[in-house]
Amino acid sequence: MEALYACFDEHVGICSDSRSIESGQIFFALKGERFDGHAFAAEALTHGASAVVIEDAVPGLSDDHPQVFRVASVLTTLQALARHHRRQWGKPLIALTGSNGKTTVKELFASVLGECFHVHATRGNLNNHLGVPFTLLQLRAEHDLAVIEMGANHQGEIDALCRIAEPTLGYITNFGRAHLEGFGGIEGVIRGKTEMYRYLLEFGGERLINPEDALQVHHAGPGAIPFLPDLNTWMDSNGFVHIERGETQIQSHLSGEFQGANLQAAWSLGAYFGLSSEAICTGISAYVPKNNRGELRVTPKNLVFLDAYNANPSSMEVSFRYALGIYPDRVHYYMAGDLFEMGEYTAEEHQRMVDLFVELGAEHVWLIGEAFSATQHPGHYRSFSRTEEALQALHAEALSSAFVWIKGSRGMALEQLLPAL
């Protein structure tokens, strides 16, 4: 590892795509279902790679070549290098996971802490067994703190990511009905997500918790850090959430009462690291959701709540309940897209959502995707197997002055509906 690390330049980093490699980067010949980086290892060297990491023989590259590192597994070597670099960097690292809201909270944490520290945070949602190592290997000496998002779709994954990133503080946003297929039901979700707290307890790390979440309180163990007790949040008539502490308050750009806990987590974390209330408010105000994550958009014809980056049953229910209560002066349309990775729970969870729409009196409901289309639903609900079919129907509908709620899994790409709204 020391020899490989000697080739590593934190200002240049690593690469797994020979088409975009920069001079001085280490090339990792990763394998996937549809690609094998070994086919491009020799090319990477000609393009300026400082070294290539391979596990299989590559024609034209001998194992004794000074720039070739032949290893048992390219992936585990990448993860080991990331862990080694994280240890050399040696500063506080905040990890977070959860069923819903991980990326929003990660961005809030980074925005708040960024008011007083040089923060390195996960870009986008690069939160898996590849994304976390790549993120860690972007740490530089000038960074004061790191905020690392961790995603999982099966048990054991969060523990593995923690053992790569070695967090000093962790937070779990919530436990919901996400990735039920891989986790094996809601109990599996809880066991999988709380691997973060168990890791931190094993190694003496801090745990931030929402004291109103009984599962967090139970699994975080003694000595956890609760949200500040004197924080208050509320939602205004336009759906935006405010937060206050004493005489200091700020309106966030987040929509929905469910965002209150996210704001309290960010404020509490900022206070833990010594930020003033004013600095925390500045950081909260600076964060504006984007990339289809709970955005309120005003189009020329309608008001759209676009929450189409991803979805699971828990996040869809919370988002739907929020949408029901805002803009009562407009006719509401609800566009619900299929929920992925439900496995044997697919039919049950989609039917449960439809039953909730009916129970709470939603009239104009469009069900988009094969799973939603297969549910038992009222005859006046509209159903479409594909997003493209719904888009055509929306163009014909020519909605005007409506409030349109859009929520579904990433694979449904429901943002494609926007041109018709």
Range of weakest confidence among 48-52, 97-101, 336-340: 97-101
- Tokens 């439809």 label which residue? 354
Instruction: State whether 141 and 265 are in the same domain.
Output: yes
Q: How far apart are CA 1 and CA 11, in angstroms?
A: 19
Total of domains in the chain: 3
Secondary structure percentages of the chain, helix, strand, coil, to 5 = 40, 20, 40
For residues 187 and 272, membership in a common domain is answered with: yes
In SS3 terms, 136-201 reads as: HCCCCCCCCEEEEECCCCCCCHHHHHHHHHCCCEEEECCCCCCCHHHHCCHHHHHHHHCHHHHHHH
Q: What is the CATH number of the domain that holds 17?
A: 3.40.1390.10
Same-domain check for residues 189 and 270: yes
2-24 residue pLDDT tens? 889 888 887 788 999 888 888 99
Question: Do 306 and 384 belong to one domain?
Answer: yes
273 and 299 belong to one structural domain: no
Is residue 221 over pLDDT 80?
yes
Same domain assignment for residues 127 and 159 = yes
Residue scoring higher pLDDT (183 or 51): 51
Are 235 and 324 found together in one domain? no
Does residue 55 register a pLDDT over 70? yes
pLDDT band at 278 (very low <50, low <70, confident <90, very high): very high
Burial of 241 (0-12, 13-18, 19+ CB in 10 A): buried
The CATH number given to whatever domain includes residue 106 is: 3.40.1190.10
Per-residue pLDDT band for 239 (boundaries 50, 70, 90) equals: confident
Task: Classify residue 298 by burial, with Cβ atoms within 10 Å: 0-12, 13-18, 19+.
Answer: exposed
Q: What is the pLDDT of residues 349-364, one digit of tens each?
A: 999 999 999 999 999 9
Tell me the average pLDDT across 282-287.
95
Query: Does 333 have pLDDT greater than 70?
Result: yes
pLDDT of amino acid 176: 63
Amino acid 76: pLDDT: 96
Mean pLDDT of the chain: 91
* pLDDT at 327 > cutoff 70: yes
Burial class (CB in 10 A: 0-12, 13-18, 19+), 166: middle
Last residue of a domain, one of 11, 42, 73: 73
Residue 180: what pLDDT? 62
In a domain, 83, yes or no: no
Weakest mean pLDDT among 71-75, 92-96, 150-154, 171-175:
150-154
- 236, 266, 286 - which closes a domain: 286
Q: Of 97-106, 118-127, 255-264, 373-382, give the range with the top mean pLDDT.
A: 373-382
Stretch (H or E) spanning 262: helix 260-272
* Residue 35 forms part of a structural domain: yes
Is residue 141 domain-shared with residue 279, that is, in the same domain? yes
Contact (Cβ atoms closer than 8 angstroms) between residue 392 and residue 400: no
**Residue 100 falls within a domain, yes or no?**
yes
* Rounded-to-integer distance, Cα 351 and Cα 250, Å: 39
Would residue 322 count as lying in a domain? yes
Whether residue 108 is found in the same domain as residue 234: yes
pLDDT for 126? 86
User: Does the pLDDT at position 179 exceed 70?
Assistant: no
Residue 38 has pLDDT above 90, yes or no: yes
Is position 31 within any domain?
yes
Share of the chain above pLDDT 70, in %: 97
Question: Residue 347 maps to which CATH number?
Answer: 3.90.190.20
Tokens linked to 220: 């975080």
Is residue 79 one of the residues assigned to a domain? no
Residues 301 and 282 in one domain: no
Look up the pTM and report it: 0.82
pLDDT at 226 (0 to 100): 97
Considering the chain, what percentage of its residues have pLDDT values greater than 90? Answer: 68
pLDDT score at 60: 85
- Predicted local confidence at residue 182, as pLDDT: 63
pLDDT at 64: 85
How far apart are the C-alpha atoms of 330 and 381, rounded to whole Å?
A: 19
- The mean pLDDT of 263-273, rounded to a whole number, is 97
- Domain boundary (259, 286, 313) is at 286
* Together in a domain, 116 and 259: yes
φ, ψ dihedrals at 23, nearest 5°: -55, 130
Range of the domain at 321: 295-420
Question: Is 281 in the same domain as 318?
Answer: no
The CB density around residue 134, as the number of other CB atoms within 10 Å, is 19
